[in-house]
Each structure stands twice: as C-alpha cells, then as structure tokens.
C-alpha cells in the first residue's frame, strides 16, 4: 500500500465514520501532515452522498424525504465531528465574553443553548436547501461541496495561528505546510469540479465559489474574534461553508 493511500485512510478514519484504520488517534504523532488529504476525504464523502441521491431519485421517496435522508446521512458520515465543533464554537462566540473565557466555554464538552440553537438551524437549513435543489445538478453539487468546504478547513488550519497552547487541532496546524498543502489539496476537487462543469453541470462552478467564499470569510471572522483557530472552529468552518453554499445556490441558482 502506498504511503499516500495509507495516509488518506487514516484521514478518513479520523474525519468520517468509516473504520478504515484501527489507530489510536490520541497519539498526536499519527495525525502529522494529514490536513492536505481533507479535500480528498471530502470528495469521498460527496461521492457517497451522490450515490445515495441517485438511489433516492430512482425510488418512490418524496423529495422532502430524500432531503431528510441526505441531511441525516451527511451528518452520520462525518460522525458529527464538524457539527460538534460548530455547536461548541457557537456556545463560545455567542457568550460575548473575553477571548480567554470564550476558549474555556468552547472546551466544555457540554452543549449550551446557543450551540443547540445553532445546530438546529444548520440541520434545518441543510434540509430545506437540499429539498429546494432536487434534480441532477444537486447530485453534482453534493460531490463538490464537502470537498471545497474541507479545502476551506485546510485554509483555516494553515493560514492562521492556533489559538490555544494545546488541543486536538494543534497537530493539524503545526504540520501543515502553507500554502503548499493548500495548493496540493485543491487539485482533486478542482479536477472533479471541472469534469462535472464540462459534462453539463455548470452549477458546480457556483457551488465552488460560494463554498470557498463563505468558508474563507468565516475563518477570517473566527480569527479576528479569537486571535487564531481551534479544532472546534475548523469544524465550524466546514459546516458554515456547506450551509452558506447550499443557501446561496437555493437563492441565486
């Protein structure tokens, strides 16, 4: 097995529910240099969503049911990892406390009111926007959105300092070569986006731009608020990039 395939399997085992590698991820050394594989992992997540969407399109399921199943599958495939980061980030940011206190709140494993409300809004938002985008173009977008949202995560990991002295996300930041890894990470989703665009699905280009734009803006907002990033804000960047992209497609496409 090649080194890159082995590293991709480790990345997928960490950021999805796929048990491809039996690894103790409490050992930070094993996570060294995995960030550049995040967009490719997103493509694999997107491919599974694309397949599910195709199966649902051939079934008798109503569009609202299909949208619900896709939303749930999206959450399950990621093990709720990014969703958990989103809720923790919301609890901290909306507390309107000092930077130090915000980071303390985000480190609390319990979900507060702001996190629960934000999580509910994101789930409902994904459901209704997926419902509004039913059709062949939805399938193509479902492949590229998870990939570009994780490219935005890679941007946040490499571009900004880590806001805490330690944490699960610190090893991702410390072992990312920026911007080299960012360029490497863009190659797979760019190739797939171009392929679908040339195959008659121009909406994927809009999806790419909306996803990148919202993810980068959100990561800069978090950096200004916290003076850096954390593992939680990495996850929040993914979720917000995906939701904002879907919403923009639903409104403007």
Phi, psi of 161 (to 5 degrees): -70, 160
Q: Among positive and negative, which fits the CA dihedral 45, 28, 155, 98?
A: positive
- The answer to whether residue 15 sits within a structural domain is no
Q: Would you place residue 26 in the very low, low, confident or very high pLDDT band (cuts 50, 70, 90)?
A: low
What share of the chain in percent tops pLDDT 90?
Answer: 80
Please determine, for residue 30, whether its predicted confidence score (pLDDT) is greater than 80: no
* Structural domain boundaries enclosing 57: 39-252
The interaxial angle of helices 180-198 and 203-226, nearest 10 deg, is 150
Instruction: Summarize pLDDT for 115-161 with one digit per residue, the tens.
Output: 999 999 999 999 999 999 977 789 899 999 999 999 999 999 999 99
The rounded percent of the chain whose pLDDT value lies above 70 is 96
State mean pLDDT over 179-186: 97
Provide the pLDDT for residue 168: 80
What is the per-residue pLDDT for 19? Answer: 78
d(CA 233, CA 74): 19
- Which residues on adjacent β-strands are paired with residue 162? 229
Is residue 210 included in any domain, yes or no? yes
Q: Is residue 5 part of a domain?
A: no
The count of structural domains within the chain is 1
- What digits encode the pLDDT tens for the residues 59-75? 999 999 999 999 999 99
Angle (deg, nearest 10), helices 231-252 and 81-93? 100
Q: Give the per-residue pLDDT at 31.
A: 76
**DSSP classification of residue 229:** B
Q: Is the pLDDT of residue 12 over 70?
A: yes
**Residue 12 belongs to some domain of the structure:** no
45 occurs within a structural domain: yes
Please tell me the pTM assigned to this model: 0.95
- Give the number of other CB atoms < 10 A from CB of residue 105: 21
Residue 23 placed within a domain: no
27 found inside a domain: no
**Rg of the chain taking only CA atoms, in angstroms:** 17
∠ CA 64-116-240, nearest 5°, is 65
Q: Are 128 and 66 in contact (CB under 8 A)?
A: no
The answer as to whether 4 is a domain residue is no
pLDDT for 27 beyond 80: no
Is the backbone peptide bond immediately before 179 cis, with ω within 30 degrees of 0? yes
Return the pLDDT at 2.
Answer: 82
pLDDT at residue 175 tops 80: yes
Q: pLDDT band at residue 18, thresholds of 50, 70 and 90?
A: confident
């Amino acid at each position: 097995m090649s080194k890159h395939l082995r590293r991709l399997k480790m990345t997928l085992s960490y950021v999805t529910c796929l048990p491809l590698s039996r690894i103790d991820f409490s050992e930070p050394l094993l996570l060294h240099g995995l960030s550049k594989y995040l967009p490719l992992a997103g493509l694999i997540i997107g491919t599974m969503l694309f397949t599910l969407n195709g199966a649902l399109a051939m079934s008798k399921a109503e569009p609202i049911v299909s949208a619900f199943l896709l939303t749930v599958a999206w959450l399950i495939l990621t093990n709720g990892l990014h969703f958990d980061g989103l809720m923790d980030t919301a609890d901290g940011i909306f507390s309107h406390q000092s930077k130090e206190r915000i980071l303390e709140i985000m480190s609390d494993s319990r979900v507060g009111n702001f996190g629960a409300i934000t999580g509910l809004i994101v789930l409902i938002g994904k459901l209704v926007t997926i419902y509004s985008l039913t059709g062949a173009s939805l399938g193509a977008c479902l492949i590229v959105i998870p990939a570009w949202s994780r490219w935005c995560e890679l941007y946040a990991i490499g571009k900004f300092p880590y806001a805490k002295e330690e944490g699960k996300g610190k090893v991702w930041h410390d072992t990312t070569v920026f911007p080299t890894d960012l360029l490497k990470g863009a190659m797979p989703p760019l190739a797939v986006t171009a392929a679908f665009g040339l195959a008659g699905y121009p909406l994927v280009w809009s999806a790419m731009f909306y996803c990148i734009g919202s993810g980068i803006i959100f990561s800069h907002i978090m950096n200004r608020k916290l003076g850096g990033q954390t593992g939680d804000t990495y996850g929040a960047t993914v979720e917000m990039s995906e939701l904002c992209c879907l919403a923009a497609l639903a409104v403007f496409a």
